[in-house]
Amino acid sequence: MKNLFLLTFLLFTFNSFSQKPCEYSANVTDSIGTYKATKGYIMSEKSMDSSSSYVFFSLISTDDMPTLNLQLIKKSKNFISANCFDKNSRLILQLANGKIVTMYHIDQESCGTLIRGENSSNNRINTGIFMFIKGSIEELKKSPVTMMRIKYLNGSEDFVVGNELISEMDGQKYEPDTFFINTLKCIE
């Protein structure tokens, strides 16, 4: 009986300490209000021939108003066309439990910035801010994400969201499917 109690205690202790701590790029409270932003997290990474693309997520809370910051970076030797965000843009997430969560872009048009890199490479960086709708946060806490679709002003792009990604960029391990499960607590 003593061993069973000890084993149970160790398992609960391990579980409580095994949760990942929140990592912030900003966490400010002042007379104006409160602002929290989690560090950027790689959700997708694609490399083919002379081009690559990266999708980063970051959660932001401004005076208890949660939003998702999506950053899309594309690199190529060829010209990279602009994918613009506008008030009709959406981020559609398919969850493992079969539910679909749709997030709406704020009412601000953004087509990103084209930057000429070394060796005549092109880099396009675009950032979009998406709002959670009622009930979506609860759904995202319950189930991993399996697919995501980014709907732009001028088309859409689909991404398979894996349960493990070893980044070629920084060599770190990411678990994009459980990003919301692990990170939403950081902005509540």
Beta-carbon count within 10 A of 62 CB:
13
pLDDT tens sequence across 65-112: 999 999 999 999 988 888 999 999 999 999 999 999 999 999 889 999
CA distances from 12 to 1, 3, 21, 92, 185 (A): 17, 14, 17, 36, 20
Residue-wise pLDDT tens digits, 1-41? 444 343 344 344 434 444 578 999 999 999 899 999 999 99
The pLDDT, as a whole number, for residue 91 is 98
Contact 40, 58 (CB under 8 A): yes
Kind and range of the H or E run holding 142: helix 136-142
pTM comes to 0.85
Cα separation of 56 and 43, whole Å? 6
Please report, as a single letter, which amino acid is at residue 128. G
Task: Report which of residues 136 and 17 the model is more confident about.
Answer: 136
| Angle at 180 (CA atoms; ends 48, 26), nearest 5 degrees | 90
Distance of CA 74 to the CA centre of its chain: 16
Could you tell me the sign of the dihedral formed by the alpha carbons of 143, 138, 176, 184, in that order?
negative
